[in-house]
Amino acid sequence: MNPTVFRNARLVLGDEVVEGSLAAAGGSIASIDPGHRQGAVGLDLEGDYLLPGLVEIHTDNFERHLMPRPSVQWAEMPALLAHDAEVAAAGITTVFDALGVGDADPDSLRGSTWHGVVDTIDTCAREGLLRADHHLHVRCELPAPNTIDLFEPFHGHERLSLISLMDHTPGQRQWENIDVAKVYYTGKKGWSLEKFLRQVEHAAELQARYADPHRQYFVDYCRQHGIAMASHDDTTLAHVEQAHAEGASVSEFPTTVVAARAAHERGLLTVMGGPNVVRGGSHSGNVAAADLARLGLLDILSSDYVPGSLLSAVVRLVDDGILDMPSAVATVTRNPARACGLHDRGEIATGQRADLVRVKLVDLPDGRRQAVVRGVWREGERVL
């Protein structure tokens, strides 16, 4: 098999950026050749950056395609194919489809069964219809009465690689500020003010009844099946200590510096949102991701609700002098891959999967730079 050669590239390696070429064969990176060779053959990248394929471990994007408007459910296959094309266009070659399980609201997507969605992912992957490599990240809403029942289609599934434990009860964690929660639920979810106030009152009752037993169920499940576990929206030292004692390896979206520092001290990797970096802060009024990066407390970036935010956030962190290019790229490649037990991808190194992204940086009128994806390869095969 003839290798695919990428030449005249800026290769973003683990700890440096070098100009040179790369050869891929058999789905893996066969060789890396710094420098320029006269008469070299292969695809000329014209000085563009060549990055490892991005690894996205927490995105709500598939859910957005499944329910594009409140109470409007879309067919599974077109939703999946649109989501897959969008993440690939953002340079993501490995995606953990984050699917929320459990909701007391009967009109919600997360209160519905996931059987059809899981079957659709399996079918499209088997038929070779997907550009990205799809894994499952199940987000378990602990206070919801139906969480364990709705988890059933994921039980023992080979794509299940990450479980996160969530509690969105207003008045704590992400929604410590009730007024911010009100804006979110009445705006994005289309709730009336009356419905929001009703749900706030009911949420506290559900939390008291279901959160602790459901938490123990999923902690035991992760231990028994060797599934990576993440805590969600840690705010206090007690939140982090509980997650660490239960075996969590990841702290998703800590809302305070106190929680992020405590997570780091206990060996948990912190995940923050790419949109948080790009917007300059959290839409929920919590700690800014860039501030955590300055303190050395940011390990992984997630695109959360905007797939294209990953590369935009990488460029913002570099241009603002917070991280160098290899360190910023690691937050969207090597670090998330290793956090979920994927050791065959996430880095440009010999023997790693040839998941690659060609990126051009374009100067904008406001003095910033925009990352533009010009090509994506998964295991050496071009998918975009």
CATH of residue 93? 3.20.20.140
How many Å apart are CA 259 and CA 263, to the nearest integer? 6
- Tokens 């660490």 appear where? 244
Structure tokens at 21: 């070429």
Task: Supply the pLDDT for residue 36.
Answer: 72
Task: Supply the pLDDT for residue 164.
Answer: 97
How many Å apart are CA 16 and CA 110, to the nearest integer? 42
Q: What does the mean pLDDT of the chain come to? A: 92
Task: Supply the pLDDT for residue 212.
Answer: 93
**Considering the domain boundaries, does residue 4 fall inside one?**
no
**Considering the domain boundaries, does residue 283 fall inside one?**
yes
How many Å apart are CA 247 and CA 268, to the nearest integer? 9
Sequence-ordered list of residues with C-beta below 8 angstroms from that of 187, at least 6 positions apart, any chain: none
The 10s digit of each residue's pLDDT in 54-65 is 999 999 999 999
How many Å apart are CA 176 and CA 144, to the nearest integer? 18
**Considering the domain boundaries, does residue 46 fall inside one?**
no
Number of domains in the chain: 1
The 10s digit of each residue's pLDDT in 342-383 is 999 999 999 999 999 999 999 999 999 999 999 999 999 999
How many Å apart are CA 1 and CA 23, to the nearest integer? 12
The 10s digit of each residue's pLDDT in 184-201 is 666 656 667 777 766 766
Res. 236: pLDDT tops 70: yes
Structure tokens at 374: 């010009």
Structure tokens at 168: 């969105």
Task: Supply the pLDDT for residue 208.
Answer: 81
**Considering the domain boundaries, does residue 203 fall inside one?**
yes
The 10s digit of each residue's pLDDT in 247-294 is 999 999 999 999 999 999 999 999 999 999 999 988 667 899 999 999
Longest CA–CA span in the chain (Å) reads 72
Look up the pTM and report it.
0.91
Task: Supply the pLDDT for residue 71.
Answer: 82
The 10s digit of each residue's pLDDT in 85-100 is 999 999 999 999 999 9
**Considering the domain boundaries, does residue 174 fall inside one?**
yes
How many Å apart are CA 88 and CA 66, to the nearest integer? 18
> What are residue 94's phi and psi, to 5 degrees?
-130, 125
Q: Within 10 A of 183 (CB to CB), how many other CB atoms are there?
A: 14
* Type of residue at 352: Q
**Considering the domain boundaries, does residue 95 fall inside one?**
yes
- Segments forming the whole domain that contains residue 90: 53-346
Sequence-ordered list of residues with C-beta below 8 angstroms from that of 90, at least 6 positions apart, any chain: 54, 303, 307, 308, 310, 311, 373
**Considering the domain boundaries, does residue 113 fall inside one?**
yes
Res. 202: pLDDT tops 80: no
Res. 1: pLDDT tops 90: no
Q: Do 138 and 157 touch, CB atoms closer than 8 A?
A: no
**Considering the domain boundaries, does residue 29 fall inside one?**
no
